[in-house]
Amino acid sequence: MRALMITALLVIAPLALAQERTPSPAGAEVYIITPKNGAHVSSPVVVRFGLKGMGIAPAGVKFDNTGHHHLLIDTDPPADLSAPLPATDKIVHFGKGQTETSLTLTPGKHTLQLLLADQNHIPHSPPLLSQKITITVVK
Ligand SMILES: [Cu+2]
């Protein structure tokens, strides 16, 4: 019984540590430099990522007050921001530390939003989430 409890602790403790949120400094801000909210653009669309009060570090690199960008395309942020962000075609990770991308989008309205996350892809506390912008892709 005792051995079982110790085993359980050994399994649970690292999981609990992995879920610890990285703090973000006061005044830090993430924002989309371009395109502007409401813009009419043609595809491919160049999206430039802005960050104030923090730095960029690649995924896997632990350094205070840093993170890497994630672009949310036509989706809301996950409800649970204490877990690592999944990588999908709507949640794109920029784990090399990129600060811009070129997106191929279908004609019509699309939403874009940036979310910074730490070396383990877990959003900071409080989270650094940009304004969600809507753009229209014209043919
Ligand atoms: Cu990531």
Residue 4 is predicted with a pLDDT of: 56
**What does 21-88 look like in DSSP terms, one character per residue?**
PPB--TT-EEEEEESPTT-EEESSEEEEEEEESSEE--TT---TTEEEEEEEESSPPPS-TTSPPP--
Tokens of 18: 């992995």
Sheet holding 100-103, edge to edge: 29-34, 45-52, 100-103
**pTM recorded for the entire structure:** 0.86
Each residue of 112-133: pLDDT tens digit?
999 999 999 999 999 999 999 9
Each residue of 6-48: pLDDT tens digit?
555 455 445 545 567 999 999 999 999 999 999 999 999 999 9
Q: How far is the CA of 113 from the centre of ligand 1 (A)?
A: 14
Q: How far is the CA of 25 from the centre of ligand 1 (A)?
A: 19
Q: How far is the CA of 88 from the centre of ligand 1 (A)?
A: 11
Residue 139 is predicted with a pLDDT of: 87
Each residue of 79-107: pLDDT tens digit?
999 999 999 999 999 999 999 999 999 99
Residue with token string 């801000």: 29
pLDDT at 53 over 60: yes
Q: How far is the CA of 95 from the centre of ligand 1 (A)?
A: 5
Residue 66 is predicted with a pLDDT of: 98
Q: How far is the CA of 137 from the centre of ligand 1 (A)?
A: 26
d(CA 112, CA 134): 6
